[in-house]
A and B are shown apart, each in its own frame.
Chain A
Amino acid sequence: MKLMKIEKGNLSKLMEHLKKDNFRVIGVTPDGKRFSEKFDETLNFMQSDTPPTSISFKEHFFLKTEALFYYKNNNGAIDLKEPVIDERKTVVIGARPCDTASLPILSKVFNWDYADDFFNRRVENSIIIGMKCNYQDDYCFCNEVGLSQNSEKGSDIFLIPDGDAFIAKTITDKGNKFIEEFAIFFEEYTGNPPAENKNGHDEKKFDYESVKKWLDNNFEHKFWDEAGETCLSCGQCAFVCPTCHCFDIVDEQCGTCAGVRAKNWDACQFSLFTKHASGHNPRDSREKRYRQRISHKFKYYNDKFSEILCTGCGRCSRGCPVSTDILELLEEIDQIAHSTTN
């Protein structure tokens, strides 16, 4: 780990420089909603006390539509062609801990025995410049899922606001090399080392361990009937979420004998998601689907990969059409868990 300093003005210049240098630079759009190459060049989003974007940055690593290969049918002879992936080096700037942490979490499933090179190559090709967060609202719960406003998980370089500048902490070799390569934009940092990685608030909104234990034993429980009752079965929660990774695989024709096989975002809340060709559907109700959502995130994924499939960013709740609040439900589970054990 190395500490450097970068003035806000220099950060803008660095981003301009990178663009000219054929980097793909991704920051937050002027409306603060989303990460995009068309980001706010004034870097107004580099404030740590505003809400996180409403859509996570995962769309730049796990694309909403990814071409897997192109096919062509020449009178019966099939020709498959690999897609061309944008191989430009990518720099993501201004992502909060609740975004950056999703990459190592997702990396587990995308590398479970079979390596998804689409995801891997994009991550390998990127420098993630994370930023300390000073925002906190009633939907956030990064602390409860083992992260914090200072989590460096997933960042290559971590920025900590320091007046009109940022302290730049290098987290990975990749981050180190990047700072070395663009050293002219940085200065030595001579101040005191920033405060240790400490949780933003000590009082936990719920206790993950007891939620997990409850989930282990309560696949059948009336809680589920209420939790998913008004859910509309849309994909909002999964599609804004930094950690949801379900997908569909489809062929899209371009003309009569050529086309693309694509991997598209999908979500467990959609009623067709698990429907068999026979018509049988193991998750045929909103309640069952909502149980899958919570259980996958807070139990199954942890059982399999020792990671919680949630960074506590609160996006799914802020955007839910019927105001389903995942934190509130987890708190409720925690309460049920406590009331039954005591």
Chain B
Amino acid sequence: MNIYKPELVEIMDIIQETPDIKTFKLQFVSKKMREEFSFLAGQFAEYSVFGEGECTFCIASPPTRTEYLECSFKIAGKVTGALNKMNKGDIIGLRGPYGNHFPLEQMEGKNVVFIAGGIGLAPVRCIIWNVLDLRDKFKDVTIVYGARSVSDLVYKRELEEWKKMDGVKTVVTVDPGGETPDWTGEVGFVPSIVEKVAPASENSIAIICGPPIMIKYTFPVLEKLGFTEDNMITTLENRMKCGLGKCGRCNIGNVYVCKDGPVFSYKEMLELPQEY
């Protein structure tokens, strides 16, 4: 088998989330793949634009919804730039799923706290829907999401949907200066909003994804609230090419983010050498 050869997927729909972030709804061209493809929340895939190359995104839709596969990407360079120019009906490539996943089983029967910043909501959205689709298995759900400004918020319609749900506390914030006159949400950086929302740490598990700086300042806040090192879960991003543990660039010490990650507990993260 050729492990480097992607499967073909068709772009069924494109949603412009923010000026530089888009969500693609994808469907496998092959019927067999549509039936057989399965993954777990937190896993990622390699997406290709033929002629431009591949890049890495998490799968942003939950495993509980199989009609489409979704990914959200921010324009960053060559391949994301090319993806940005693609239209509904175009064909791209997909290899995966790769990597480990969020500890869904460990989360069962617990309160779950989701904290995300910017496009970091993409992997978190996957697990949020996964949890909400299996609502009975979990206790209280808290979602704290922030972006630089109102126009940088992704999945706006879903944020509204979550706000209306029972047993789900959704707090959306923008960085100071990023608010619009009619903004009704919070204003402030994610760590301070988390401090304000103060989710209970008792029987809780927190999932945190976002820019490194946000993650860095959120951990101490959660620790103060009583979260333990193995009850705080995050994802790490490193430059990747193969996703298969072979090309040699994603390692942090002897941990390969593409195989042993991208999901790590804060405890595991602390054990890694400082090279990420």
Contact = CB atoms under 8 A, between A and B. Distances in A.
State if A and B touch, Cβ cutoff 8 Å: yes
Contacts of B167: none
A133 to B, nearest CB: 28
Given A76-B91, A82-B5, A274-B238, A251 B247 contact: no
Interface residues of A, number: 50
Contacts of B254: 299-300, 303-304
Contacts, number: 121
B238 A276 contact: yes
A78 B94 CA distance: 13
Contacts of B253: 219, 295, 300
Given A77-B91, A112-B259, A248-B247, A71 B51 contact: yes
Contact of B259 (A113, A259, A274): A113
Interface string B1-36: 111111010000000000000000000000000000
Contacts of B183: none
A299 B251 CA distance: 13
Contacts of A115: 1, 3
A254 B122 CA distance: 35
> Chain B: interface secondary structure?
loop
Given A69-B5, A268-B248, A300-B253, A251 B53 contact: yes
A273 B275 CA distance: 14
Nearest to A288: B275
B246 interface: yes
Interface in A3-18: none
Interface stretch (A123-131, A192-200, A277-285): A277-285
B80 A109 contact: no
Contacts of A69: 2, 4-5
Interface of B: 1-6, 8, 48, 50-55, 76-77, 80, 89-91, 93, 212, 237-239, 241-242, 244-249, 251-254, 259, 273-276
6 contacts: A78-B93, A82-B5, A112-B245, A247-B247, A251-B52, A282-B252
